[in-house]
Amino acid sequence: MAFSGIVQLTDLDDFITPSQECIKPVKIEKKVGASKTGAKIKIEADGSYIEELSDGSQKKLPKAEITLADCLACSGCITSAESILIEQQSSAELRKIFASKSQEEGGKIKKIIVSMQIQPIISLAQKLNLSVEDTVLRLSTYFKKLGADFVYDLKIAEDLALLEHQHEFIEAYRSGKKKPLISSACPGWICYAEKTHGNWILPFISQVKSAQQIMGSLVKDHLAKRLQVSPDAIYHITLMPCFDKKLEASRPDFFNEAMDAHDVDMVITTIEVEQMLTEDNIDMQDMTNTPLDFLQGESNVTIRANYGSGSGGFTENIFVHAVKELFGEEVKEIQYKTLKNADFQEINFEQNGEVKLSFAIANGFRNIQNLVQKMKRKRCHYDFVEVMACPSGCLNGGAQCRPEDSSVNPKELVLQLNEKYKSLAKEWPKENGHLETISNEWLGGRDSDKAEHMLHTTYHEVEKLTNSLAIKW
């Protein structure tokens, strides 16, 4: 199992390549009466740690075992995570799930659901030289041949997330809450915030769940009731552009003890699906199309995207809504201003020559750190910031398809993916005809207690490790 190399924030490179395995320090419990100088630890030739006790005896320290929860608590790889292949959520494990369902009709899993985000679909379309529309329909065919009962896109969950972000921003603005409000859809950014800045930064972060986790709640609660099965009888798989989404799905916050079920059971990434297609010797060019399933009725609408950035369009959607709601004006054209680099942009709304709203997009950890430092110095004037850990955002996620030709510039590839995204049919959340029906049937309205529970979460400071093995010499 490969892990990303440890990244030191003092010398950060978002495009770092794996160099060594992630290390979880071993915690050594202090004993009453023990030497204040601490025990001596030596490293054997096989890499094992030996503790030399005060009485001269030796004790072999246990080997560190890294779990998903540990990955969220470690202080190492907080950036692109391009080589994190987590055994619990791998393509091999996915095949086992499909096989067990087909072989054991009387087994626990009754339904397998696949939900797909737009970014990996675009990446696969580019890699396989297909249109985005054909790619999503052929992925539907592939997953159903593997054994999926339903295949959805995440647009309904994305729209719910955007509407909640809009509502949350308006409330924060009118109440005079400290600004900026920062988006919470990127688990890499959330992991960094919890571990590095903790309770200082958390009040600024949106408490709206990501689209992935909203879809998880929708599947395990609303869809489970419609299918008349228990939530733990549904195995929910999401297709995502980065490995950090595996970590997000595994957070204890997204495990329902009463239902004994995760909202999302497994996250499969773009490059893992590409690998599976290769292993199965499948040529997507020759595959037939299978329509997607829809949570609410039938639809002939092709795949749609949100206005704004390829990371979900948080900035543009909230900005347009806020200008209308707070100042009664329609935004006819949005002009982004590029700051130090292409991954740091801002937009402003002016009224009578005065800036009333200022929004920004900050992608990549260099820009994120600059943003945090401005906030600490109280020199951050933004009302809202869309934050993504990966440079260029989710279209350039750490688990997107890599170009086979080494001559292809990664930045050129991102531009190509952006062009595909821009070419898709766009839709504002309020234009989704099924959204109100889903909201009423599932949540009992946007302002209900159930809506608060299903669409929101909380974040927690992660205790910093003070173990001597974590010291940077």
**Which domains are delineated in the chain?**
87-455 (3.40.50.1780)
Q: What is the pLDDT of residues 114-137, one digit of tens each?
A: 999 999 999 999 999 999 999 999
Question: Which pLDDT does position 72 carry in this prediction?
Answer: 42
Indicate the range of 8-17, 114-123, 178-187, 399-408 predicted with least confidence: 8-17
Q: What is the pLDDT of residues 186-220, one digit of tens each?
A: 999 998 899 888 899 999 999 999 999 999 999 99
What is the spatial distance between Cα 15 and Cα 370, in angstroms, rounded to a whole number?
Answer: 18
More confident residue, 149 or 23: 149
Q: Of the ranges 95-99, 166-170, 294-298, 410-414, which is most confident?
A: 166-170
Taking residues 332-350, report their average pLDDT.
Answer: 92
Question: Which pLDDT does position 91 carry in this prediction?
Answer: 86
Question: Which pLDDT does position 445 carry in this prediction?
Answer: 86
Taking residues 57-76, report their average pLDDT.
Answer: 57
What is the spatial distance between Cα 63 and Cα 66, in angstroms, rounded to a whole number?
Answer: 10
Confidence of residue 384 (pLDDT cuts 50, 70, 90): very high
- 374 Rama class: left (phi>0) / alpha (psi -120 to 50) / beta: alpha
What is the spatial distance between Cα 321 and Cα 117, in angstroms, rounded to a whole number?
Answer: 24
Residues in the chain: 473
One DSSP character per residue, 61-103 reads PPPP---HHHHHH-SS--S--TT---GGGSHHHHHHHHHHHHH
What is the spatial distance between Cα 76 and Cα 451, in angstroms, rounded to a whole number?
Answer: 35
Taking residues 311-336, report their average pLDDT.
Answer: 94
More confident residue, 260 or 148: 148
Q: Is residue 80 pLDDT above 90, yes or no?
A: no
Confidence of residue 70 (pLDDT cuts 50, 70, 90): very low
More confident residue, 19 or 192: 192
More confident residue, 6 or 376: 376
What is the spatial distance between Cα 184 and Cα 187, in angstroms, rounded to a whole number?
Answer: 7
Question: Which pLDDT does position 146 carry in this prediction?
Answer: 94
Confidence of residue 350 (pLDDT cuts 50, 70, 90): very high
Dihedral angle at the C-alpha atoms of 218, 239, 165, 382, nearest 10 degrees?
160
More confident residue, 302 or 95: 95
Confidence of residue 105 (pLDDT cuts 50, 70, 90): low
Q: Are strands 384-388 and 354-363 parallel, antiparallel or unpaired?
A: parallel
Q: Is residue 11 pLDDT above 50, yes or no?
A: no
Question: Which pLDDT does position 5 carry in this prediction?
Answer: 33
Confidence of residue 182 (pLDDT cuts 50, 70, 90): very high
Q: Is residue 35 pLDDT above 90, yes or no?
A: no
C-alpha R_g of the chain: 23
Confidence of residue 42 (pLDDT cuts 50, 70, 90): confident
